[in-house]
Amino acid sequence: MPREVFVVQIGQCGNQIGGQFWETLLEEHAAAVAREAEAAKKWSRQNASYVPRFSASMSTFFRNVNARHHACYDLGDGQPLRTLKARAILIDMEEGVLNELRRGSFGSLFDERHLISDVSGAGNNWAHGFCVYGPEHRDRIAESLRRSLEAAESPQGFLILHSLGGGTGSGLGSFVVQMLEEELPDLPRFCCSVVPSPLQADDVVTAPYNNLLSLLHLRRHASCVLPVSNDALVKMYEAGRPPLFRSSFLFFFSLFFALFVFAFSAFLAGISTNDDDWRERRHDFQSGRAETREKEMCIR
Beta carbons of 218 and 180 less than 8 angstroms apart: no
Annotate 11-22 with b (16+ C-beta within 10 A) or e (fewer).
Answer: bbbbbbbbbebb
Q: How many CB atoms lie within 10 A of CB 148?
A: 22
pTM exceeding 0.85? no
Q: Which domain CATH number covers 255?
A: 3.40.50.1440
Residue by residue, what is the 3-state secondary structure of 58-100? HHHCEEEECCCCCCCCECCCCCECCEEEECEEEEECCCHHHHH
Cβ atoms of 206 and 126 closer than 8 Å = yes
CA pseudo-torsion sign 150, 155, 157, 160: negative
Distance from C-alpha of 39 to C-alpha of 181, rounded to nearest angstrom = 45
Instruction: Give domain status of residue 79, yes or no.
Output: no
Number of structural domains, the chain?
1
Q: Is residue 264 part of a domain?
A: yes
Q: pLDDT tens for residues 81-140?
A: 667 888 999 999 998 899 999 888 888 889 888 999 988 888 899 999 999 999 999 999
Identify the three-state secondary structure at position 290.
helix
Residue 62 falls inside a structural domain? no
Is residue 128 in a domain? yes
Residue 273: domain span = 4-44+86-291
- In the structure, what pLDDT confidence band is assigned to residue 9 with cuts at 50, 70 and 90? very high
224 is a domain residue:
yes
60 found inside a domain: no
Q: Please check whether residue 242 lies inside any domain of the structure.
A: yes
